[in-house]
Amino acid sequence: MYLGIDCGTQGTKALILDIHSGKVLGEGSAAHRLISGANGRREQDPADWLLAFEQATAQALQQAGVAGSEILGIGVSGQQHGLVLLDAKGEVLRPAKLWCDTESTAENAHLLDFLGGDSGSLERLGVAIAPGYTVSKLLWTRDHHPEVFGRIAHILLPHDYLNYWLTGRACAEYGDASGSGYFNVRTRTWDTELLELIDPEGALVRALPELIESDRCVGSIRPEIAERLGLNPWALVASGGGDNMMGAIGTGNIAPGAITMSLGTSGTVYAYADQPRVSPHPQVATFCSSSGGWLPLICTMNLTNASGAIRDLLGLDVETFGALVGEAPIGAGGVLMLPFLNGERVPALPLATASLHGLTSDNLTRANLCRAVVEGTTFGLRYGLDLLKDSGIRSDSIRLIGGGAKSATWRQIVADIMGAPVACPQHTEAAALGAAIQAAWCVSHQHGEALSLQSLCERCVSLDDARSAEPDELRSRAYEGVYQRYREQVRALQ
């Protein structure tokens, strides 16, 4: 039995995986609080993650009907780009700044200028740093909280921090490290010179965690944490990774040819590559995967957060919202939404705001507003998919995950807008599943068995035929006109 954890923006999810049968035996979840500010601040208290970890694990074990002593390994998936700062005693110095935090946009621009713009950043790091990446949060901390900056002993990403809490060891693996902005994805090494620009004294470089391979274990769980969680005190903790990297494993996206699309708080589209072919498009992040290769990826900042905002505004439950989306026609009667509530990364519009276009007294209906936000967010994913295809990525089908994938209407909209068949895994919580699969992979290496990741994915990842969608040629043609209208509005903003 293996425990998979996904610590995301909205909450932590846990599942228990039996790798012999390939079945998920139990699941649990617990919510997180978000600290928000009008200046783009998006932070969380890591203590909330620990409590949610404990609650979600207890639920998963209870539902599975298994004893925690049967858990052989733990894999942790975490939201990318976050910054957790610890002092010399291992205590958290301040709330963690998240991937969706844009408070350090000015600092990111300063660092990007130093690197020589997007092209210079691509040449040096293999990625173009963007607002939300970890590196700008370090510069922001130096300039706005110098007393905190002076006490930094460990710089960790969210999943690194959870592994540190579990084991007492500060480590990072290549996939999640790729989104830090101070990591070279081609050489798989830290860019220490960039950190020395922020801190010439070298304290940040000394605070970096040790880099380990994705198939390695961080170590054994600490006895006091095993007791708190009710787990096997000999359980091993896997390297883990970022939520997108774990989502790739959890959808079997570990070889060229597959594309995974996530309809979560943010939207992501990614594919596997066996070489670090850096895209000329700055919005395509050629991250490392957590399966030994690379993971060309695009990320939109607005997805279910935008649809949720419209749903809350209109006072709708999820079922009514979905029904209204289905009632409205393709193109929402002429209502087009640019859903950039948090600015946007893809398209690259970090300072943009959301807007509605084409409103008239005839088309201003609840159904059209609901349809417009779903279409607008999905157009952002299509924009990103076009960038991936232009970068040489090829795939005939899409594996769809995330909360939005539970909607049959949204699945069909994705298939029609992308012009590709859509399939959903049996378990849409792909990041937690991927973490559990990776844990089994890492533990087998630790014990000298070296199970292949491919065999584990074949056994544990299956598609749900009842939740597939085929594109309709007529609808796809109709969407193309609406999508081009979206592109025109984006160009006007750019």
pLDDT in tens, 87-144: 999 999 999 999 989 899 999 999 999 999 999 999 999 999 988 899 999 999 999 9
- Tell me the binding residues for substrate: 80-81
Query: Taking a C-beta distance cutoff of 8 angstroms, is the pair 169, 163 a contact?
Result: yes
Token pair 């996904």 in the structure block, residue:
6
Token pair 């949610």 in the structure block, residue:
52
Roughly what angle, to the nearest 10 degrees, separates helices 304-314 and 366-390?
180
Q: What pLDDT sits at residue 462?
A: 94
Largest Cα–Cα distance in the chain? 69
* Element of type H or E holding 222: none
Q: To 5 degrees, how large is the angle CA 78–CA 101–CA 370? A: 90
CA dist 333 → 216, 250, 314, 329, 370 (Å):
53, 38, 18, 6, 11
What count of other Cβ atoms lies within 10 Å of the Cβ of residue 487? 14
Q: Where are the domains of the chain?
A: 2-244
191: three-class secondary structure by DSSP: coil
Query: Taking a C-beta distance cutoff of 8 angstroms, is the pair 395, 353 a contact?
Result: no
Token pair 């417009």 in the structure block, residue:
372
102: three-class secondary structure by DSSP: coil
324 closest CA partner among 369, 359, 378, 376: 369
pLDDT of the chain along its 494 residues, tens only?
999 999 999 999 999 999 999 999 999 999 999 999 988 899 999 999 999 999 999 999 999 999 999 999 999 999 999 999 999 999 999 999 999 898 999 999 999 999 999 999 999 999 999 888 999 999 999 999 999 999 999 999 999 999 999 999 999 999 999 999 999 999 999 999 999 999 999 999 999 999 999 999 999 999 999 999 999 999 999 999 999 999 999 999 999 988 999 998 889 999 999 999 899 999 999 999 999 999 999 999 999 999 999 999 999 999 999 999 999 999 999 999 999 998 898 999 988 999 999 999 999 999 999 999 999 999 999 999 999 999 988 887 899 998 899 999 999 999 999 999 999 999 878 999 999 999 999 999 998 887 899 999 999 999 998 999 999 999 999 999 999 999 999 999 99
Token pair 């859903």 in the structure block, residue:
339
Token pair 């533990």 in the structure block, residue:
443
CA 82 – CA 407 distance, rounded (Å): 29
374 closest CA partner among 425, 421, 331: 331
CA 271 – CA 260 distance, rounded (Å): 6
* Element of type H or E holding 171: strand 171-173
Q: Which CATH code is given to the segment(s) 2-244? A: 3.30.420.40
Q: Give me the count of residues in the chain.
A: 494
The single residue of 101, 176, 199, 243 carrying the catalytic annotation is 243
The structure's pTM equals: 0.92
CA dist 155 → 52, 183, 238 (Å):
22, 13, 19
- Side chain identity at residue 122, one-letter code: L
State how far Cα 422 lies from the chain centre: 20
Is 243 a residue of the active site? yes
142: three-class secondary structure by DSSP: helix
Token pair 């040096």 in the structure block, residue:
124
Over the stretch 306-347, which tens digit does the pLDDT of each residue have? 999 999 999 999 999 999 999 999 999 999 999 999 889 899
Query: Taking a C-beta distance cutoff of 8 angstroms, is the pair 55, 39 a contact?
Result: no
> 479-487, long-range: CB within 8 Å, 24+ apart, which pairs?
479/330, 479/331, 479/375, 479/416, 479/417, 481/331, 482/330, 482/331, 482/336, 482/375, 482/379, 483/379, 483/382, 483/417, 485/336, 486/336, 486/338, 486/376, 486/379, 486/383, 487/383
68: three-class secondary structure by DSSP: helix
Q: What pLDDT sits at residue 427?
A: 87
